[in-house]
Amino acid sequence: MERENQTEPEAGTVTPLDQALWSVLAAESAPAPFTRAWLALLCRMLPGAARAVLVLRQDGALAPIARWPEGDPGSAQLSHVAELALTERRGVVSRPGGRTPGHTATRVSHLAFPLLFGGEDQGVVAVELEGAGDAALRDAMRQLQWGASWIELRQLRVQSVDDAARLRQGYAALEVAATALAADRFDAAARATATEMALRLRASRVAIGWVTRRSIRIAGLSHAVGSGKRADVTVNLAAAMDEAVDQGASLLFPLPDGEALPSRAAHARLVAQGAGPYVLTVPLTTQGRIAGAITVERDTPIDQDAIDLTEAIAALVGPVLGQLRLGERWLTTIAFHIFTRTARQLLGPEHYVLKLVTGIVVGVVVFFSLFHTEYHVNAQAMVEGEVRRTIAAGLDGYIGSEHVRAGQVVHQGDVLATLDDSELNLQRLRWIATRQQHQSELDRALATGTRADVNIDGAQIAEAAAEIALLDAQLARTKIVAPFDGLITNGDLSQSVGMPVQRAQVLFEIAPLDSYRVIIRVPDSEIARVAPGHLGTLVLSALPDRHFDLHVVRVTPIAEQSDGSNTFHVEARLDDVSPQLRPNMEGVAKIDAGRHLLIWAWTHHLIDAIRLFLWSWWP
């Protein structure tokens, strides 16, 4: 329309043009007619409106969507005011400079008001007014503010329609995914999904294919195909799916403009074979990779709603089918998949932590597999005297005195204890007196010359001498002396003075200080690795800072229970003797058992236990 042909309507009147514009607004038509009608109505309400522009955000960018009058090129000042309103996010008024009273009719003013919906700038409306005073400019800015609500209302209606459409698509996609989840096998889920999609999309046929090692395998078809054409249909469907998988995008055939591109050659062959004639193929993704495709064939054109619904279903169904497919693989396939995936991660980029951990594990395994070490049999050990002498009472009697106790070092000839000898001394004195008496009688018999008396008295003197000698021997036995230098290992008579003892009753035990042996209690699981002549090391609890070298002398072939385990006594000799050693000291001995791999030294006990357990349970 031309500006010079426009006439201002009288106040309170509605022209046929206004009615037409209002009907466009009420009809909620397409964006372009709606915005043109809205801008025209706005300018008709603003006295002196010369030109106007409406800028809205479309696809993320601001662009003019309507101008008034239509085809108006706009002006630099109008564009400047619009940009200023967007920048400052408020209404802006630009008045002409140097105005003089009486010339308001020639003034040109510019107004702009930003369209802020939900706190975000969605556009701006700018108007150029001629001959407008301050009051008219205020009224015009108010009209811009009120008129902006129409644009916001339409945006909200469009958004609600889009949200409702997406919600319906989401419900439909969830119902199809639920159909797939209800199946217990991959092929059954694919067939059920394809059939459900064909019903919802009003498609003549829906096919679902899955990527295998060599090509795509058709896993589910919504409708049966004649036996004569089934092979050709399957091949063509797989080729069309391969086309979409290779390009990684949804493919529609034919294009809306009717142009057949080479990238859709397989789709063209599928249509020529009798499918369609409208075909849509959407890739299926699972775990971040394309694993299959869905091909939809319709007798009617495939609109954007059908494309969006198919893509939504593919986004939900892909992971479901992927999990079912993974659950049906052979164990060897799963192992191979894990191996190849790990190999790709190790040889490809990134995954630095996995590479570092793998390198450390491989290094440790290689180290333990190649490094040899001296293996030692560990066992509890105790030091004993090589000779242990038992000192017993030589006769019946009573303890007279004690001089040493267990733990004391004694020398050869030292008196350890004495027995009470008072009775023996009395008997000895009596026999001495008896001998003297017989000696006197012998002297008288010799003087008188009586031969019979001489013989009798001589025999009685010999008897008395024998008794005295016997008593002397017994008196000597009342002194218990050390047979050699050593350590008293057992015996304490300090609380037994005056107590009776019997002949051969043990009173003390003594061990030499310069000759020891080591008794090692080796577990039966390790006894096969110990033999006479093996060397070892002994560390005692009382001397943890000293290491004593030893060599195995004898392996006792008799086992005994010790601390709940079965052990064998292994006798060893110390290569050097320290004055600090004492009998009955305990510690730990390590016997050299040859060189072995370090990994074997650490794991052979566990491996032996597992072997024994498996053998015990093996039928």
Confidence of residue 295 (pLDDT cuts 50, 70, 90): very high
Cα distance between residue 70 and residue 21, in whole Å: 14
- What are the b/e assignments for 130-141, b being 16+ CB within 10 Å? eebeeebbeebb
Confidence of residue 589 (pLDDT cuts 50, 70, 90): very high
pLDDT attached to residue 227: 35
Predicted confidence (pLDDT) at residue 280 exceeds the cutoff of 70: yes
Predicted confidence (pLDDT) at residue 59 exceeds the cutoff of 80: no
pLDDT attached to residue 225: 44
Cα distance between residue 263 and residue 247, in whole Å: 8
Q: Span 183-328: which CATH code?
A: 3.30.450.40
Of residues 442 and 98, more confidently modeled: 442
Residue percentage of the chain with pLDDT more than 70: 91
pLDDT attached to residue 10: 47
409-410 β-sheet, strand order:
389-392, 506-512, 486-490, 409-410
Confidence of residue 241 (pLDDT cuts 50, 70, 90): very high
DSSP 131: S
Q: Which of 242-251, 466-475, 538-547, 582-591 has the lowest mean pLDDT?
A: 466-475
pLDDT attached to residue 385: 78
Cα distance between residue 564 and residue 521, in whole Å: 13
Give the residue from 114, 108, 104, 62 showing the smallest Cα distance to 84: 114
pLDDT attached to residue 24: 65
pLDDT attached to residue 7: 44
Predicted confidence (pLDDT) at residue 279 exceeds the cutoff of 70: yes
Residue percentage of the chain with pLDDT more than 90: 13
Predicted confidence (pLDDT) at residue 538 exceeds the cutoff of 50: yes
* Fold equal for 389-509 and 515-617: no
- Interval 361-389 mean pLDDT: 83
- Residues in Cβ contact with 617 at an 8 Å cutoff, skipping those fewer than 6 apart: none
Confidence of residue 287 (pLDDT cuts 50, 70, 90): confident
Tokens 């998949």 — which residue? 337
pLDDT attached to residue 101: 46
Structure tokens at 520: 């090692």
Q: Note the helical H segments in 277-374.
A: 304-327, 331-347, 352-370
Report yes or no: 378 and 567 within 8 Å, Cβ to Cβ.
no
Q: What is the SS3 assignment for 179?
A: helix
Confidence of residue 231 (pLDDT cuts 50, 70, 90): low
Report yes or no: 249 and 264 within 8 Å, Cβ to Cβ.
no
Give the residue from 599, 413, 420, 415 showing the smallest Cα distance to 498: 420
- Interval 332-345 mean pLDDT: 79
pLDDT attached to residue 2: 35
Strand partners, 205: 297
pLDDT attached to residue 11: 40
CA dihedral 409, 412, 416, 422 (to 10 degrees): -170
pLDDT attached to residue 26: 65
State CA 391 to chain mean position distance: 68
Query: Can you count the helices (H) and strands (E) in the chain?
Result: 13, 24
Q: Superfamily assignment of 3-97+105-162 in CATH? A: GAF domain (3.30.450.40)
Q: Which of 21-25, 202-206, 314-318, 373-377 has the lowest mean pLDDT?
A: 21-25
pLDDT attached to residue 107: 76
Of residues 523 and 329, more confidently modeled: 523
Cα distance between residue 439 and residue 460, in whole Å: 9
Tokens 């589910």 — which residue? 220
Predicted confidence (pLDDT) at residue 442 exceeds the cutoff of 70: yes
Predicted confidence (pLDDT) at residue 98 exceeds the cutoff of 60: no
- Interval 276-293 mean pLDDT: 90
Cα distance between residue 205 and residue 228, in whole Å: 17
Q: Span 389-509: which CATH code?
A: 2.40.50.100
What global pTM score does this model have?
Answer: 0.47
Confidence of residue 536 (pLDDT cuts 50, 70, 90): very high
Listed by start position, the domains of the chain span: 3-97+105-162, 183-328, 389-509, 515-617
Of residues 278 and 264, more confidently modeled: 278
pLDDT attached to residue 539: 92
- Residues in Cβ contact with 267 at an 8 Å cutoff, skipping those fewer than 6 apart: 240, 243, 251, 253, 279, 281
- Interval 599-613 mean pLDDT: 86
> What would the pLDDT profile of 457-509 be if each residue is shown by its tens digit?
788 888 888 888 887 887 777 788 878 777 777 777 777 777 888 887 787 77
- Residues in Cβ contact with 407 at an 8 Å cutoff, skipping those fewer than 6 apart: 487, 488
**In the chain, helix, strand, coil percent, each to 5?**
45, 30, 25
Does domain 515-617 fall into CATH 2.40.30.170?
A: yes
- Residues in Cβ contact with 281 at an 8 Å cutoff, skipping those fewer than 6 apart: 240, 241, 243, 244, 250, 251, 267, 293, 294, 295, 296
> What would the pLDDT profile of 138-193 be if each residue is shown by its tens digit?
888 888 888 888 888 777 777 787 778 788 888 888 898 898 888 889 999 999 99
Cα distance between residue 217 and residue 234, in whole Å: 9
The DSSP-derived string for 446-484 is HHHT-HHHHHHHHHHHHHHHHHHHHHHHHHHHTEEE-SS
Mean pLDDT of the chain: 81
Confidence of residue 106 (pLDDT cuts 50, 70, 90): low
Report yes or no: 373 and 595 within 8 Å, Cβ to Cβ.
yes
Predicted confidence (pLDDT) at residue 19 exceeds the cutoff of 80: no
